[in-house]
Amino acid sequence: MSQQSQQRYSAEEALAYMMSDTESSSEEEFELTSSYSSESSYEPPVDVLEGLQWPAPVTPAPVTPAPVTPAPVTPAGFLEELVASMVEQTNLYAGQFIETHPNSYYARPQIWTPTNPCELKKFWGILLSMGLVKKPTIRSYWVSDILYATPMYATIMSRTRFEVLLKFLHFNNNSLCPPAGSADYDRLYKLRPVVSHLNQRFSQLFTPDKELSIDESLVHFKGRLHFKQYLPSKRARYGVKLYKLCDSGTGYTQKFRIYEGRDSIINPPECPPTLTLTGKIVWELLHPFLDKGYHLYLDNFYTSVALFNCLLSRGTVACGTIRRNQKQLPKTFVEHPVRKGESRAVCSNNLLLIKYKDKRDVFVLSSIHPDRSSPVAVRGSTVPAIKPVAIQDYNKFMGGVDLSDQVLQPYNALRKSRAWYKKIVLHLIQTI
């Protein structure tokens, strides 16, 4: 391996190196290299090199990485707007409910009185603190038994008032909701103002590092819901799925999208028409960060040759595992066997496809890395393993969403409820 491929690259140098003529003399030529072989300098047969006809990648625009300058917004400032909206909608919903249910318990005198921002902040403070002080039921937080009492809650708000506020907590006007089946019907109408507000503000409060990752998160819910998902790899397993764009280093959520069902329509701004549904999800989440030189890491649910080429055209490089049955991958390369601990790579201008054998075959597509390997320490062994740098960086930077969930888990205040939209809002407020 040449000295040029052994040095560390900055984002600009790596992109320039992959775009240079030294890597490929034309769009029709490909370089197949063996990054490492533990037994011999094996050379693949000639037929492996035949038929590698990937579509010509789009030449990316010049990348000038620059930090995002956040607007002068403070967490307290944007929470004031959110609380004011919740107060308005909670009072409105309570009035509508009492008007349509005049004989209910909540229609009795003095049971419901309009709330205000100060009281609703206390309500949210109690609700969030329940993630720190774990008790089996809500009413158990107000017990007076000396063995179990937590006096703080009763001094801030009575149990009856807390339960009434929890009953009428609302985020949007039900009377204006479009009917099901209409063209403008929104399955997330009940919490749409909160989702829009937080998506707009999250990126204004924090400037992420260079590495970003996109993955799914799951909010536990087992009730009846049209777009409830089953994800066996997640701890919750059943619930509402969120697509998240997170900073890889801190796990901070930059942007998110709630899954609404397979029939939902996604039309992100400036989206190329060649992208599939998963590609459009990535484009929508990443759109505010395009043309800024960020590095994106994805799993095989999103990765495709078309998506990486479109991102390159907007000055964004990416790396991710890719499924072996992707139509645009060269079949002769995918099917060619490699031994354990060995890797093979094929280049197509700005894209690098790597096949690495560990316990099974792993395929990685990258527009960030050169074809280079380095030793990695193996637990329980004194002999290091040689892995491609692209796979090492993928393992290092792909866990942003998992880190976000791990940080939240010890303070999770979610409880069993029929109101799925209240659980989602509580999860999003805890994410702040």
Q: How far is the CA of 208 from the CAs of 82, 128, 136, 195, 330, in angstroms?
A: 23, 26, 38, 20, 35
Cβ neighbours around 284 below 10 Å, total: 18
- Reported as a pLDDT band with limits 50, 70 and 90, residue 110 is confident
Q: Which residue has the higher pLDDT, 193 or 327?
A: 193
Phi-psi region of 415 (alpha: psi -120 to 50; beta: other; left: phi over 0): beta
| Mean pLDDT across 131-156 | 93
Residue 18 has pLDDT above 60, yes or no: no
What's the chain's average pLDDT?
83
Identify the DSSP state of 177.
P
Give the model confidence (pLDDT) of 332-367 as tens digits: 999 888 998 899 999 988 899 999 998 899 999 999
- Reported as a pLDDT band with limits 50, 70 and 90, residue 32 is very low
Give the model confidence (pLDDT) of 118-131 as tens digits: 999 999 999 999 99
Predicted pLDDT of residue 19: 46
Lowest mean pLDDT among 67-71, 177-181, 267-271, 312-316: 67-71
Lowest mean pLDDT among 30-34, 50-54, 384-388: 30-34
Give the model confidence (pLDDT) of 284-324 as tens digits: 999 999 999 999 999 999 999 999 999 999 999 999 999 99
| Mean pLDDT across 384-409 | 93
- Reported as a pLDDT band with limits 50, 70 and 90, residue 74 is low
Lowest mean pLDDT among 9-23, 71-85, 313-327, 396-410: 9-23
Residue 199 has pLDDT above 60, yes or no: yes
Predicted pLDDT of residue 27: 36
Calculate Rg over the CA atoms of the chain. Answer: 26
| Rounded Cα distance, 334 and 363, in Å | 8
| 246 in Cβ contact with 400 (< 8 Å) | yes
Q: Where are the alpha helices (DSSP H) in 117-248?
A: 117-129, 151-156, 159-168, 192-205
| 122 in Cβ contact with 407 (< 8 Å) | no
Residue 56 has pLDDT above 90, yes or no: no
Q: Count Cβ atoms within 10 A of the Cβ of residue 37 and give its class: 0-12 exposed, 13-18 middle, 19 or more buried.
A: middle
Predicted pLDDT of residue 327: 83
- Reported as a pLDDT band with limits 50, 70 and 90, residue 78 is low
Residue 246 has pLDDT above 80, yes or no: yes
Residue 3 has pLDDT above 60, yes or no: no
Residue 376 has pLDDT above 70, yes or no: yes
Name residue 346's beta-bridge partners. 32, 353
Closest by Cα among 69, 68, 73, 65 to 200: 73
Beta strands in 11-146 (DSSP E): 31-36
The token pair at 274 is 């060649």
